[in-house]
Amino acid sequence: MYSVLLPTYNESENIQILVYLLRDTFDEMSEAYELIIVDDGSTDGTIKKIKHLEPYFPIKFIQRKEKLGLGSAYKEALKNISHESEFIVIMDADLSHDPKAIKDMAIAIKEADVVVATRYTLGGIVGWNFKRKMISRGANNLAQIITGVEVTDLTNSYRMYRRNVLENLEISSNGFSFQMEAIVRAYKKKYKIMEVPIIFHERKSGKSKMGIIEIIRFIQSLIVLFFVTG
What pLDDT, on the 0 to 100 scale, is given for residue 132? 66
The residues near 69 (Cβ < 8 Å, ≥ 6 apart) are: 174, 175
What pLDDT, on the 0 to 100 scale, is given for residue 173? 86
Burial class (CB in 10 A: 0-12, 13-18, 19+), 213: exposed
Q: Within the chain, what is the greatest distance between any pair of CA atoms?
A: 47
The helix (run of H) or strand (run of E) holding residue 90 is strand 87-90
What pLDDT, on the 0 to 100 scale, is given for residue 128? 60
Q: Which long-range contacts (CB under 8 A, 24 or more apart) does 79-86 make?
A: 80/36, 81/3, 81/34, 81/36, 81/163, 82/1, 82/3, 82/34, 84/1, 84/32, 85/1, 85/2, 85/3, 85/34, 85/163, 86/1, 86/2, 86/162, 86/163
What pLDDT, on the 0 to 100 scale, is given for residue 77? 97
> Looking at 24-33, 45-54, 134-143, 200-209, which range is the least confident one?
200-209
User: Mind listing the domains of the chain with CATH numbers?
Assistant: 2-228 (3.90.550.10)
State the average pLDDT over residues 146-161.
86
What pLDDT, on the 0 to 100 scale, is given for residue 144? 75
Residue range 186-210, pLDDT digits in tens? 999 999 999 999 887 665 554 555 5
The residues near 74 (Cβ < 8 Å, ≥ 6 apart) are: 5, 7, 38, 90, 178
Check: pTM over 0.85? Answer yes or no: yes
Q: Closest Cα to residue 158, out of 132, 177, 135, 179?
A: 179
